[in-house]
Amino acid sequence: MTFTPTHVLVSRTKETPVQLVAGAKGYWLYTESELQTGAPPAFEMRPKLGFYCRGQQVVGFRLQPLTQKAAAQPQAPQLVQ
Is 35 contained in some domain? yes
For residue 76, tell me if it sits in a domain: no
- List per-residue pLDDT tens for the chain, 81 residues long: 789 999 999 999 999 999 999 988 899 999 999 999 999 999 999 989 999 999 999 999 999 998 865 444 455 555 555
Residue 13 lies in a domain: yes
DSSP, collapsed to helix, strand or coil, labels residue 77 as coil
Report if residue 61 sits inside a domain: yes
- Indicate the pTM of the whole model: 0.76
Buried b (16+ CB within 10 A) or exposed e, 2-15: eeebbbbbeeeeee
Amino acid of residue 34 = E
Residue 56 lies in a domain: yes
Range of the domain at 57: 7-66
Provide the number of structural domains found in the chain: 1
N-to-C CA span, the chain: 44
The sign of the CA dihedral 40, 46, 50, 56 is: negative
